[in-house]
Each structure stands twice: as structure tokens, then as C-alpha cells.
Amino acid sequence: MGLEQLIPSLAGDGYFTTQVNKLIAWGRKNSIWPYPFGTACCAIEFMATMSSRYDMARFGAEVVRFSPRQSDLIVVAGRVTLKMMPVLSQIYQQVAEPKWVISMGACASTGGVFNTYTQIQGVDQFIPVDVYVPGCPPRPESLIDGVLQIQKIIDGQAERREFTRTSEDLAAQAAARTH
């Protein structure tokens, strides 16, 4: 992992001092196990990101788990509908702490072009989202950047946000839609 370059004392005496939190965060951020909540074309880009050309394994996040019990990063990739939102909420609750969420693409983040009665206008209304990846669908480079942002959040370099839409925001949105 190139630790010798980062921590010079490793090369010499073979030991170094740190904090347990930092050591755990270092381990966590380099072994993210993503859970792909793929419902639409974003999931195809997710597959491209995972496979050899873009190779998410370079960042330690290549072990895609299809059980929420075994993963710590949910990638919401695609449209989420009225029927799917309770499923996503339950899956979010099934992921063991600590957990992070990427909202991938326009549909998961805002509803995208699907402003209809059955389309959730952004999953961040109902589950906490850490990183939004823009695009329709995002290119693999964008998703890789999103995972790197998650890594920064994990080791404390970036602030973790809770619900980004407050209840006041939601009320204002609902009022704007009643025309």
C-alpha cells in the first residue's frame, strides 16, 4: 500500500504510533463493500465502473455484495418508484453501521425527467445521502470520484451531511407543485 513512503518510521524501526480511530478509518475506506441498488440504466454504468476497464478494485471497493447485511455502501443507481421506496428504506435499515449512501445519477437524486405521480423526487427525502453523483447516467469516472468522496468522509477529511432536505424544504417544494 505504499505505507513506507507515507510513514517514514515504518521503513526504519518497523513501528509507528497512531490513533485507533485513524487505523480503523484507514481500513474501512480502503475496503468499501458496495451494495448496488440498481433499478435503471445507472446500474449499467455501475457495472462498467466495477469491471476491468475502470476497475474499482484500485480503490478497494470491488467486492460487490447483494446482501445489505454484508455491505457498507449503498449505491442507489436508478429510478425509485412509489412501490420501490419502502424496499429501499428497509434495505437501508438492514445495512449494519457504519454505512454510507451514494445517490447516483439524476433520477435517484431529483427524480430526473420523471416528474410523475409514481416517481420519488430524490431519495434523500427519505434516506440520508452522503454523496450525489451527477449525470444521466454518470460516467464511470464520476462514480469513481463519488467513491473517493466517500473515502474522504470515512477518514474525516470531509464533513458528513445528514438529511440535506429539511422539512421546510419539502413543504416549500410541495407548495410549488400545487399549481
Partner 1 sequence: MADAKPAPQLPPTHDAHSRLAKPLKENQLDHDLLQRKLGHLIKSLETVSGQTVMKFERQNVRAILEILRSDPELAFNMPTDITCVDNLRREDFEPARRFTMIYIVYSYSHGKRVRLEADLPEHDPRIASSVGIYRGGPWIEREVYDMFGIEFTGHPDLRRVLMPDYYEHFPLRKDYPLTGRGERDNFIRAEEVE
Which span (13-21, 38-46, 87-95, 153-161) binds partner 1, by CB under 8 A? 87-95
Which span (11-19, 24-32, 111-119, 140-148) binds partner 1, by CB under 8 A? 111-119
First CA to last CA distance, the chain:
57
The yes or no reply on residue 125 touching partner 1 (CB under 8 A) is yes
Nearer to partner 1, 49 or 119 (CB): 119
Nearer to partner 1, 47 or 91 (CB): 91
* Helical spans, DSSP H, in the chain: 3-6, 8-12, 20-29, 42-50, 85-94, 105-110, 140-154, 167-177
* 100 DSSP β-pair partners: 73
Other Cβ atoms less than 10 A from the Cβ of 93: the count is 10
* Cα gap 138→26, rounded to integer Å: 27
* 31 grid coordinates: 475496503
> Binding residue for partner 1 (CB under 8 A) from 7, 85, 153, 158?
85
Which span (25-33, 38-46, 123-131, 137-145) binds partner 1, by CB under 8 A? 123-131
In the block, cell 451514494 appears at 102
CB of 162 to partner 1, least distance (A): 8
Q: Which residues bind partner 1 (CB under 8 A)?
A: 82-83, 85-86, 89, 92-93, 115-121, 125-128, 163, 170, 173-174, 177
